């Protein structure tokens, strides 16, 4: 029997979802002294389907939160080995003035609890086993104290959200949690976001991925492996990649990711793709049925900030809930941390006296930080969705270590701000080309006024 209760308490910020985005946002807000409450429907440690790969970008965010020492049990790796069209290339992470030249693999079972716990230690209230069932949508009678205008300046279809109805998974009790601001961080399916009115732009890239674990004698390798010419059951190259990520704990994380942007790839069966990849993978990994740790599980990867609006009257949308995954490589953990941090910055301004109008800085920061990069990413995805173009690009790349090194910099978003090197020049060229194709213009949103 479900019981309902409510209190008069109004928190500064309610965050729905305690994954990388929600926990990072909570950490930064709590560190700034705000009263923040996170509701997470699962209990940590909990499993989460992922490739478990942290790039130097993600490591930087963890280090900024003071968490790199907590990764001592994680597996540190030095770069990527690319396989494609019969060739192999070892690509170490490049030197960079901001990001380190190493990454980690760590299960989300271990990682997500570490960050949520850190947010709690910084002062956030993290309510585990607490599912946000629905937003509390009610007319906001209170004027925004910072503004003479009645409404937030950000154009929005997300109405004022006073909080959420939250169910405790153990007791079944449903209570209302109220807050001045709400952050949507509930991941790629984002039911809470959809209930508030977010939607995905179907013209932007979307990925599907599957993964499982195998025990392997090569679990401790210092490079992760990426296979760029995965094939469907009929032997056709598909736009995506297969990966084998050593976990350093006796296991490797094995998976396939497929871009489902173009209609022709929508029918591809990812389970068959995974089986084909595993059968074809180098024997030395010993990806045998006996070594398989369990059935593969999958998920969606909404990319290129494809879910909008990013903000509403008093709401911000972050991480996968906002479709923040990098279209070039399917990386989403660092972008969840980063967008969580940008949201915390805007909320800090809003709570510190800027009022709801300050939330407009979030959309502006997203535009400035990602829009041109993701627009080029979308052009890249369109190009490789064409099998002939894909063969030409990957085939040419795999003949030149120099080219692949530069491409890795671009694809992992590790271009240098201080030097105009080949990768940076190449990216400018790609940007100009995508603008010419008029893709860039279609992607760029008008800046928030
Ligand atoms: C197969 C696969 C492989 C991937 N591999 C990688 C990789 O190697 N590296 C990488 O960087 N990215 C990878 N990604 C992407 C990455 O997993 C996501 O981008 C990342 O998890 C996004 O973080 P998030 O906080 O936005 O969402 P999530 O991690 O999904 O967290 C959302 C949280 O919200 C909770 N929640 C949901 N609804 C509610 C609710 N109503 N109330 C309360 N809580 C709720 C969920 O339980 C969850 O804990 C992969 C994705 C897939 C599917």
pLDDT of res. 143: 52
Q: Is the CB of residue 319 less than 8 Å from the CB of residue 19? A: yes
The reply to whether 181 and 262 lie within a common domain is no
- In ligand 1, the atom with minimum distance to the C-alpha of 253 is 8
The reply to whether 197 and 337 lie within a common domain is yes
- In ligand 1, the atom with minimum distance to the C-alpha of 297 is 1
Would you say residue 102 lies in a domain?
A: no
Ligand 1 centroid distance, CA of 309 (Å): 19
Of 28-42, 196-210, 385-399, 404-418, which gets the smallest average pLDDT? Answer: 385-399
Which CATH number is 139's domain given? 3.50.50.60
The reply to whether 295 and 314 lie within a common domain is no
* Distance from C-alpha of 425 to C-alpha of 373, rounded to nearest angstrom: 13
Would you say residue 429 lies in a domain?
A: yes
The reply to whether 273 and 236 lie within a common domain is yes
The model's pLDDT over 71-125, given as tens digits with 9 standing for 90+, comes to 988 999 999 999 988 889 999 999 999 999 999 999 999 999 999 999 999 999 9
pLDDT of res. 440: 47
Could you tell me what percent of the chain has a pLDDT over 90?
73
The reply to whether 149 and 43 lie within a common domain is yes
The reply to whether 366 and 232 lie within a common domain is no
The reply to whether 315 and 182 lie within a common domain is yes
Q: Which of 258, 278, 302 is the last residue of a domain?
A: 302
Would you say residue 88 lies in a domain?
A: no
The model's pLDDT over 218-269, given as tens digits with 9 standing for 90+, comes to 999 999 999 988 888 788 888 889 999 999 999 999 999 998 766 666 778 8
Would you say residue 81 lies in a domain?
A: no
213/390: higher pLDDT: 213
Would you say residue 42 lies in a domain?
A: yes
The reply to whether 33 and 146 lie within a common domain is yes
Q: Which of 278, 302, 326 is the last residue of a domain?
A: 302
Would you say residue 82 lies in a domain?
A: no
The model's pLDDT over 256-304, given as tens digits with 9 standing for 90+, comes to 999 876 666 677 888 999 999 999 999 999 999 999 999 999 999 999 9
Ligand 1 centroid distance, CA of 270 (Å): 19
The model's pLDDT over 367-385, given as tens digits with 9 standing for 90+, comes to 999 999 999 998 888 888 7
pLDDT of res. 435: 76
Q: Is the predicted pLDDT of residue 4 greater than 70, yes or no?
A: no
The reply to whether 196 and 318 lie within a common domain is yes
Domain count for the chain: 3
Ligand 1 centroid distance, CA of 190 (Å): 10
The model's pLDDT over 391-445, given as tens digits with 9 standing for 90+, comes to 777 778 888 889 999 999 999 999 999 989 999 999 998 888 877 765 544 445 4
Ligand 1 centroid distance, CA of 59 (Å): 17
The reply to whether 381 and 365 lie within a common domain is no
The average pLDDT across 49-61 equals: 98
Ligand 1 centroid distance, CA of 21 (Å): 8
* Distance from C-alpha of 104 to C-alpha of 36, rounded to nearest angstrom: 29
The reply to whether 176 and 285 lie within a common domain is no
Q: Which of 324, 344, 372 is the last residue of a domain?
A: 372
- In ligand 1, the atom with minimum distance to the C-alpha of 325 is 19
The reply to whether 262 and 350 lie within a common domain is no
Q: Give the range of the structural domain holding residue 240, as residue numbers without chain letter.
A: 206-302
Would you say residue 448 lies in a domain?
A: no
Pocket test for ligand 1, best of 169, 187, 244, 338 (most atoms within 8 A of CB): 187
- In ligand 1, the atom with minimum distance to the C-alpha of 332 is 19
Q: Which residues line ligand 1 (CB under 6 A)?
A: 16-22, 39-42, 48-53, 58, 131-132, 185-187, 191-192, 209-211, 255, 298-299, 301, 319-321, 325, 331-334, 336
Would you say residue 83 lies in a domain?
A: no
Ligand 1 centroid distance, CA of 169 (Å): 20
The average pLDDT across 135-142 equals: 75
pLDDT of res. 433: 82
Pocket test for ligand 1, best of 52, 302, 325, 333 (most atoms within 8 A of CB): 333
């Amino acid at each position: 029997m479900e019981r309902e209760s409510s209190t008069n308490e109004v928190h500064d910020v309610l965050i729905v979802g305690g994954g990388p985005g929600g926990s990072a946002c909570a950490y930064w807000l709590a560190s700034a002294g705000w009263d923040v409450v996170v509701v997470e429907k699962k209990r940590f440690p909990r499993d989460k389907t992922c490739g478990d790969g942290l790039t130097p970008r993600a490591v930087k965010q963890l280090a900024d939160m003071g968490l790199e020492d907590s990764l001592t049990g994680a597996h540190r790796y030095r770069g990527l080995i690319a396989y494609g069209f019969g060739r192999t290339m070892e690509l170490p992470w490049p030197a960079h003035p901001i990001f380190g030249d190493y990454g980690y693999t760590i299960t989300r079972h271990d990682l997500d609890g570490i960050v949520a716990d850190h947010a709690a230690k910084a002062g956030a209230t993290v309510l585990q086993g607490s599912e946000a069932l629905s937003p509390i949508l009610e007319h906001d009678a209170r004027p925004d104290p910072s503004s003479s205008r009645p409404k937030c300046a950000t154009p929005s279809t997300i109405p004022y959200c006073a909080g959420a109805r939250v169910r405790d998974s153990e007791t079944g009790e449903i209570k209302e949690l109220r807050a001045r601001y709400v952050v949507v961080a509930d991941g790629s399916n984002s039911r809470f976001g959809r209930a508030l009115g977010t939607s995905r732009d179907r013209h932007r890239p979307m990925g599907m991925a599957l993964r499982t674990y195998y025990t392997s004698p090569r679990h401790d390798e210092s490079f992760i492996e990426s296979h760029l010419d995965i094939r469907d059951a009929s032997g056709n190259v598909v736009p995506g990649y297969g990966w084998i990520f050593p976990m350093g704990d006796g296991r490797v994380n094995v998976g396939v990711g497929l871009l489902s942007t173009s209609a022709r790839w929508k029918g591809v069966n990812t389970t068959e793709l995974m089986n084909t990849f595993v059968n074809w993978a180098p024997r030395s990994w010993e990806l045998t049925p006996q070594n398989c740790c369990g059935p593969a599980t999958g998920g969606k990867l909404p990319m290129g900030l494809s879910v909008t609006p990013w903000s509403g009257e008093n709401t911000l949308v972050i991480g996968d809930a906002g479709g923040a995954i990098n279209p070039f490589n399917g990386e989403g953990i660092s972008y969840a941390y980063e967008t969580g941090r940008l949201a915390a910055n805007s909320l800090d301004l809003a709570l510190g006296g800027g009022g709801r109008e300050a939330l407009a800085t979030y959309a502006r920061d997203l535009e400035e930080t990602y829009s041109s990069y993701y627009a080029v990413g979308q052009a890249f995805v369109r190009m490789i969705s064409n099998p002939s173009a894909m063969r030409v690009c990957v085939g040419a790349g795999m003949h030149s270590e120099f080219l692949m090194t530069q491409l890795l910099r671009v694809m992992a978003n590790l271009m240098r701000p201080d030097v105009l090197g080949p990768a940076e020049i190449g990216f400018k060229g790609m940007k100009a080309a995508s603008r010419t194709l008029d893709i860039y213009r279609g992607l760029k949103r008008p800046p928030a006024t």
